[in-house]
Structure 1
Amino acid sequence: MSEMCVIGGSRYFGRRLIENLRDAGTAVTVVNRGSAPAPEGVTHLRADRDDEDALRRVLGDRHFDAVIDQVCYTPVQAAVALRVFAGRTTRYVMTSTVEVYAHLDGPPHAEDAVDPAAWPVATDLPWDDPAFLDANYGEGKRQAEAVFTRDAAFGFVGVRTAHVLGGADFTGRLAHYVRRIRAGLPVIVHDDPRPASFIHEPEIARFLAWAARADFTGPVNAASHGTLDVRHLCAAIGETVYAVGADTSPFSFDRGYAMDNGRATALGFRFSHIADWLPSVVQEALAGEERTCAPA
């Protein structure tokens, strides 16, 4: 039986990932602060991943075939994990993001558009300031990838996930459209909204489990086939009113957020197409809004 450690994973597709690994017969250890209970049938260790000593204590002498890090946002966190898990695993998978390409525009981005081996790292920036971290989310992920890539303590994979839709999405981004369209309100978009890549919540969970069991290393894009701009997304939800204003909706982009998933496809992962699952995701969001609006 293989043994894997998931850092974070208390909600959204992280929880589904843990359940998928468990149901496949993997011995799963979950490490988080304990803000939410772990799924049944896994080992749950409580520690703040930023506290290096506490992390070492709670792990004891445990070793893992792979570690999947769902909540690494900064180079400081990456450096702590690198020190703690060196010698405990031979494979480390970090959930990264399409936001590593946020400073770019143009055609779908392949992995070599951002090379973590060459990306500068600044651990002295105020990464512990929530406002700074929120404003520099993509940069934090780029630098975290860079820290892991430059050390050979274990094989490292940075999964650059597209925008995730479906499931218990706590971000409320898709719900934004559902609420406004149902109320007949305008959806505020950019003058020229650009295409972006997306992935279904069950698919990214499946991809992360697949990546943890594989043997390739380096950055890899995870995105369903096809792209959407905000107009296509609105068309899938229903007729809407278009307007241009200051507070643009969350999937209206003024730069291209499309990713090339050719590397992952060539490595053997079979992605779905956005059109295969978007209607069901919209139905989930509509049902969620109906439950929210129902009288008590």
Structure 2
Amino acid sequence: MREICVIGGNRYFGKRLIARLTAAGDRVTVVNRGSSPPPAGTIHLIADRDDENSLERALGSRTFDVVVDQVCYTPRQALIARRVFAGRTRRYVMTSTVEVYEYEDTAVPVAEGAVDPRAVAVDPSLPWDDAEFLDAHYGEGKRQAEAVFAAGSGFPYVAVRVAHVLGGDDDFTGRLEHYADRVRTGEAIAVPAVNHPATYIHVEEIADFLFWTVGEDFTGPVNAASHGPLTTEELCAALTARLPDGKVLLRPVEPGDEVSPFSFDRSYGMDNSRAVRLGFPFGEARAWLPRAVAETLGKGG
């Protein structure tokens, strides 16, 4: 029986990961602030991950085979986690994001080496506790958090750089629903004048990927994305297939103007070949997109 600690993980693909771990016979300890109960069959520890003493007290003398950190957004949080879990786990898996590549603009899908966390400068003094600042610097926060885990030696870590996630009837982001609402009403969808595709992953597939990662021994950054990029037009076409009375109206906007959430003025694709070489069999985004749309529309009625 493996001892697994999950920090956060009460919703979306985090709860699906926990379900997979418990079904596999792992003993899962969930650490959160106690605002919501953890999934059934887990051990619940209440702690504020931003408070090092609180986290130390909650963990006591516990050790783990693997820690999966679903809610590390800043270098401050990473510094606390590294200090607290050093010596407590043989491997630390941080859920990162495609947003670490926000400054990369390439004609081909970007590989992990484009952002080497060992070369990223860390500045814990920035106002990371300010919600507005953090929201505006989400990718930078994740980059610097990765850098903290990558610094030095003796702390085996993985940074799973997750593509844009779709699917499930519990998608709290509302991003695909944004398009569904506009297709239903015929309201214009704001897009860049030159609108680039992006890579995506289904909510069940990213849960599968994280579960697989827990059982592997590789370290460092790894991209998690289904095969094949999707365009805004493809998202809309999948919606109109389920909403035949809907209408798609794309409205190009000027540079700097606000656009719809899955519309991009630069390349936003990730190269998933490292994960494939390591043994994970990604699906095709175009194959599961109709399912993701059906799940979203099922939620919205």
Q: TM-score, length-normalised on structure 1?
A: 0.96
Partner of 2:2: 2
What is the alpha-carbon distance in structure 1 between the residues aligned to residue 258 and residue 79 of structure 2?
A: 37
Counterpart for residue 274 of structure 2? 263
Q: Does 1:177 align with 2:179?
A: yes
SS of residue paired to 2:176: helix
Contact 2:171 2:296 in 1 (8 A): no
Opposite residue 287 of structure 1, the aligned amino acid is: G
Q: Which residue of 1 aligns with 2:114?
A: 113
Query: Considering only aligned residues, what root-mean-square deviation do their CA atoms show, in Å?
Result: 0.9
Q: CA deviation at 1:82?
A: 0.3
Letter in structure 2 aligned against 1:257: Y
Conservation of the 8 A alpha-carbon contact between 1:6 and 1:68: yes
Cα shift at 1:243:
1.2
Q: Distance in 2 between matches of 1:286 and 1:11?
A: 19
Which residue is equivalent to 1:69? 69
Unaligned runs of 5+ in 1: 291-296
Q: Give, as a single letter, the amino acid of the residue that structure 2 aligns with 1:224.
A: S
Matches within 5 A, 1:242-281: 242-245=250-253, 246-281=257-292
CA distance in 1, matches of 2:152, 2:21: 27
The residue that corresponds to 2:12 in the other structure is 12
1:286 and 2:287 are equivalent in the alignment: no
Segments of structure 2 that go 5 or more residues without pairing to the other structure are 241-246
- Give the TM-score of the pair, scaled to structure 2: 0.95
Q: Which amino acid aligns with 2:134?
A: L
Give, in whole Å, the separation in 2 of the partners of 1:79 and 1:95. Answer: 15
Greater shift after overlay, 18-27 or 230-239?
230-239
CA distance in 1, matches of 2:191, 2:227: 24
Instruction: Report 1:223-242 matches (<5 A).
Output: 223-238=225-240, 239-242=247-250
**Is 1:92–1:212's contact at 8 Å kept on the other side of the alignment?**
no
> Partner residue of 1:197?
199
Aligned ranges for residues 127-206 of structure 1 at < 5 Å?
A: 127-167=128-168, 168-206=170-208
Q: Secondary structure at the match of 1:117?
A: helix
Deviation at 1:27, TM superposition (A): 0.4
Count of residue pairs the alignment pairs up: 290
Residue 221 of structure 1 pairs with residue 223 of structure 2: yes
Who is 1:293 aligned against?
none
Aligned 8 A contact 1:179 1:289 in 2: no
d(CA) in 1 for partners of 2:279 and 2:298?
Answer: 35
Q: Could you report, residue by residue, the CA deviation over 1:143-168 in whole angstroms, capped at 9, with x for unpaired residues? A: 00000001323211000000000121
Aligned structure 1 segments of 4 or more residues deviating by more than 6 angstroms: none
In 1, Cα distance between equivalents of 2:77 and 2:153: 17
Q: What are the superposed Cα offsets for residues 221-279 of structure 1, whole Å, 9 maximum, x if unpaired?
A: 00000001212211111241121244311000111110000000000000001012100
Instruction: Assess if the C-alpha contact under 8 Å between 1:75 and 1:147 holds in 2.
Output: yes
**Does the alignment pair 1:102 with 2:102?**
yes
Structure 2 CA distance for aligned equivalents of residues 69 and 244 of structure 1: 38
